[in-house]
Amino acid sequence: MDSIDTTRRRSISVLVDNEAGVLSQVSRMFSRKGYNIESLAVGTTADPTVSRITIEVLADDDQIDLLCNQLRKLLAVHSVKLLDASKSIRRELVLIKIKTETSEVCNRVIQIANIFRASVIDVSSTTITLALIGEESKTDAIVDLVREFGILELVRTGMVAIERGTRTIYDQTKERGEFDYGKNVLREGL
């Protein structure tokens, strides 16, 4: 009796030391098992010595646990949190440069931008560049609408995500303590 396929897109937040080589240590864990990273965003936290990496991959329940556990084992990793889709907020910034050869096209793009609350961040005689923040449902919709005018360039920051409410990635859990046991440097090895 095989269990049902639980493969879906997962968001993982990883707190790491802000140091050279750490990002490649983290991304290596995904390539080792053959997972393509769907989205990756990195930046420092309130503490400049600590970076937060948000990674999205397609994986099932067992695979994602194994991945998270292997990440937690790395010395430079402070904590790893698998974000529950219903209890977290995901956003990415998309910049789109669109061909606007006539003012009529330009006006239509601006109308669409207004509806989606995208901002116009640059205009030239034949192009317009929009900036938009949202989840895929919103960004994919606007991309589909402006595609007919001709998209010259499109760039995404990668998805960043945070939990709703009072919970944070810094919360102490028993599991987090258990992972630190094996890599801690508080105590001499025997």
Partner 1 sequence: MELTGAQILLECLKEQGVDTVFGYPGGTILNVYDALTQEPDIHHILVSHEQGASHAADGYARSTGKVGVCFATSGPGCTNLVTGIATAYMDSSPIVAITCNVSENLLGKDSFQEVDITGITMPITKWNYMVRKVSELADVVREAFLVAKSGRPGPVLIDIAKDVTSAVYDYRYLPPAEHRSHGRLGSLVERRDDGLRVPSVDAADVDTLVEMIEASKKPLLICGGGVVRSRAHEEFNRFANVADAPVAITLMGAGGFRGRDPLTTGMIGMHGSQASNMAVDNCDLLIAFGCRFSDRVALNPKTFAQQAAIVQVDVDRSEINKNVHVTHHIVGDAKRVLEMLLERLPQQDHAEWKDFVFSFPTETEYDEGGDHLTPKQISDVVARMLPQDTIVTTDVGQHQMWVAQHFHYEYPGQLITSGGFGTMGFGLGAAIGAQVGNPGKRVIHVTGDGSFRMNCNELATEEHYGLPIITLIYDNEVLGMVRQWQTLIYGKRYSQTTLDRPPDWVKLAEAYGLSGARVSTSEELEAALTEALACGHGYVIDCVIGKDEMVRPMVSGGQHITNFIAV
Count CB neighbours of 167 within 10 A: 13
Decide: is 78 part of the binding site for partner 1 (CB under 8 A): yes
Decide: is 165 part of the binding site for partner 1 (CB under 8 A): no
Between 29 and 96, CB nearer to partner 1: 29
Question: To the nearest whole angstrom, how small is the minimum distance from the Cβ of residue 102 to partner 1?
Answer: 49
Choices 21-29, 51-59, 114-122, 145-153; region in contact with partner 1 by CB under 8 A: 21-29
Query: In the window 132-161, what residues touch partner 1 (CB under 8 A)?
Result: none
Question: To the nearest whole angstrom, how small is the minimum distance from the Cβ of residue 123 to partner 1?
Answer: 41
* Number of chain positions touching partner 1 (CB under 8 A): 34
Query: In the window 42-71, what residues touch partner 1 (CB under 8 A)?
Result: 49, 65-66, 69-70
Q: Which of 3, 14, 25, 142 binds partner 1 (CB under 8 A)?
A: 25
Decide: is 21 part of the binding site for partner 1 (CB under 8 A): yes
Decide: is 108 part of the binding site for partner 1 (CB under 8 A): no
What's the CA gap between 82 and 12, in Å, rounded?
Answer: 5
Choices 84-92, 121-129, 156-164, 168-176; region in contact with partner 1 by CB under 8 A: 168-176
HEC readout, the chain:
CCCCCCCEEEEEEEEEECCCCHHHHHHHHHHHCCCCEEEEEEEECCCCCEEEEEEEEEECHHHHHHHHHHHHCCCCEEEEEEECHHHEEEEEEEEEEEECCCHHHHHHHHHHHHHCCCEEEEECCCEEEEEEEECHHHHHHHHHHHHHHCEEEEEECCCEEEECCCCCCCCCCHHHHHHHHHHCCCCCCC
What's the CA gap between 6 and 59, in Å, rounded?
Answer: 8
Decide: is 177 part of the binding site for partner 1 (CB under 8 A): yes
Q: Which residues bind partner 1 (CB under 8 A)?
A: 20-21, 24-25, 28, 32, 49, 65-66, 69-70, 72-73, 75-76, 78, 172, 174-190
